[in-house]
Amino acid sequence: MFTKEDAAILDKVLETRWTCRFFTDEVPSKEDVEEIIQAGIISPYASVASKEVVPFRHFYVFFKGDPRLPVIGEILKKQTAIDIENLKEEQKTNEYLRDNSESLLNMWKNGAEHGFPVFPDPPCLVVIAEWRGARRAERQSLAHMLQNMWLKATVMNYDFGIWSIFESLVDNQEFCDLFGLPAGRYGFHACVIGHHKGEVPAPHHATAEIHWM
Ligand SMILES: Cc1cc2nc3c(=O)[nH]c(=O)nc-3n(C[C@H](O)[C@H](O)[C@H](O)COP(=O)(O)O)c2cc1C
């Protein structure tokens, strides 16, 4: 079984994990990326739907210089413009969103106009697709995959960033066509793996409270 020293190492990895948004040009090796993806492959999945289609999850790896990366960057800009319109529509019937989505809208407007920090040329982009199934648990599964990969990348001294905008691409025909996947049937998420550029910010953990009931 595990020792206290093993647990202390895990604690250190958990505390060291952080969100990297700016990367150097250094490209990770294919072997290292494969090791990181292996951590995603073994992460949990919603088993009820898992036999409907084989394979159930896909990892698409793009390295710096791939001509499809700027194409994905442009798709993300267009999708963000659609997301803005959808949010504005939702604001009409949702008072909370009307009062509280200004900073989100500004961030998205910036993304729709100028693109996202790592695009068009991240060192390594991994797009992950998980079959949706009737259970509709693909987003949770994607989160588990990403967390496993994030921790594995951290312990391998890589930096890691996640881009939630990929979640909005479920029905995006142009994006699904890039992978030969049917639109609407796969949930997406994506991460960038590489080495950070600039300072590593001090940790800013979520505010939280434990309630011992
Ligand atoms: C569900 C989820 C979605 C996130 N989406 C993004 C994202 O789209 N872009 C980004 O830069 N960071 C994203 N993050 C990273 C968070 O902003 C980050 O985890 C948080 O600010 C805490 O910082 P840390 O990860 O450095 O500890 C996301 C995190 C989670 C859990």
pLDDT at 24: 96
pLDDT at 152: 98
pLDDT tens track for 107-149: 999 999 999 888 889 999 999 999 998 888 999 999 999 999 9
Flag whether 6 is in a domain.
Answer: no
Flag whether 184 is in a domain.
Answer: yes
In terms of phi and psi (left: phi > 0; alpha: psi -120 to 50; beta: otherwise), the region of 199 is beta
Q: Residue 32 C-alpha to ligand 1 middle, in angstroms? A: 23
On average, the pLDDT of the chain sits at 95
Flag whether 186 is in a domain.
Answer: yes
Q: Which of 148, 130, 132 is nearest to 189 (CA)?
A: 130
Global pTM exceeds 0.75: yes
From atom 3 of ligand 1, which residue's Cα is the shortest distance away?
164
Q: How confident is the model at residue 47 (pLDDT cuts 50, 70, 90)?
A: confident
Query: Cα(169)–Cα(191) distance, rounded to whole angstroms?
Result: 14
Task: Provide the terminal-to-terminal Cα distance of the chain, rounded to the nearest Å.
Answer: 31
From atom 14 of ligand 1, which residue's Cα is the shortest distance away?
162
- Residues 201, 21: contact at Cβ < 8 Å? no
pLDDT at 124: 98
Read off the amino acid at residue 119: F
Flag whether 46 is in a domain.
Answer: yes
Q: Using the atom order of ligand 1, give the atom closest to the CA of residue 143.
A: 1
Decide: 22 in ligand 1 pocket, CB within 6 A: no
pLDDT at 195: 98
pLDDT at 135: 81
pLDDT at 31: 98
Establish whether the linkage from the previous residue to 55 is cis, with ω within 30° of 0. Answer: yes
pLDDT tens track for 6-34: 999 999 999 999 999 999 999 999 999 99
Task: Please compute the mean of the pLDDT values over residues 93-107 and round it to a whole number.
Answer: 95
Flag whether 12 is in a domain.
Answer: no
Decide: 163 in ligand 1 pocket, CB within 6 A: yes
Read off the amino acid at residue 55: P
CATH number at residue 56: 3.40.109.10
Flag whether 86 is in a domain.
Answer: no
Which residue range forms the structural domain that includes residue 140?
Answer: 22-63+117-194
Flag whether 53 is in a domain.
Answer: yes
